[in-house]
Copies of this chain bind each other. A is one copy, B any other.
């Protein structure tokens, strides 16, 4: 029987193995500077931090450890966002029933120290992020641990940090909504049939079609994010070939990473609820 940390590691591996997921690294596609094998190494390295989360250690420290371990490969950021979604879910599953309500309690219980450790995690790897909302420049995650003074002065918890980002970051908004979309997509995975790599592909497409990907928005602009959502819907409607779309998006470097992060979270919840591999 896999424990929650092991199911989270498996979710990372199953997410990147799902294919086709247009624009993402998957079993069949990769970028020259971001390869499938680097996701394998990222998932191996992340386990020790996931285990801390499952064992009840502070969320921020567990996340920082997971990111540090994930970064022990040459591709850079492979699973930062997925780990940010997984860590509170693993904590929830390790200490309580895995429900939206208990996940919300875990988020609400985060502390100022958790926020400081979250900022430290950005020192291990380059992550594409937006400018912070006006007036709170001192909380820009790009300051890394230099931001901790401001965090402590203002008494900002990790849950507060996520609230500030929820309108422009797909993972932060999950933290604030009780992981609404992740639990929804877990239901799709469980209700679906066939191999997991196809279920993961379909769940990814449904998530992408339902909301523009915030990572595409940051890297490629809003128009590209809206296009990705419309074309995912076209695949679901049978009007586009997903393999061709996948090739095109990799060519254009349109990588819906936030949607992949939610797919990983959904796979974790589904595994905890009995999804068989």
A interface residues with partner B (beta carbon < 8 Å)? 1-2, 6, 9-10, 13-14, 17, 27-28, 35-38, 40-41, 43-45, 47, 72-74, 195-197, 276-277
Contact = CB atoms under 8 A, between A and B. Distances in A.
Contacts of A36: 17, 27, 197
A197 B29 CA distance: 13
B6 A44 contact: yes
B9 A37 contact: no
14 contacts: A1-B72, A2-B44, A2-B72, A6-B47, A10-B41, A14-B37, A17-B36, A17-B37, A17-B40, A35-B197, A36-B197, A37-B196, A37-B197, A40-B277
B277 A73 contact: yes
A197 B47 CA distance: 22
Contact of A9 (B1, B2, B44): B44
A10 to B, nearest CB: 5
A40 B13 contact: yes
B73 A41 contact: no
A-B CB proximity, top 10 nearest:
A13-B40, A41-B277, A27-B27, A10-B44, A73-B277, A37-B196, A6-B44, A9-B44, A17-B37, A37-B277
Contacts of A196: 37
Contacts of A73: 276-277
Contacts of A9: 44
Nearest to A32: B195
A276 B72 CA distance: 9
Contacts of A38: 277
Contacts of A74: 276-277
A172 B13 CA distance: 30
Contacts of A43: 13
A27 B27 CA distance: 5
A10 B276 CA distance: 22
A264 to B, nearest CB: 13
Nearest to A276: B74
A9 B35 CA distance: 18
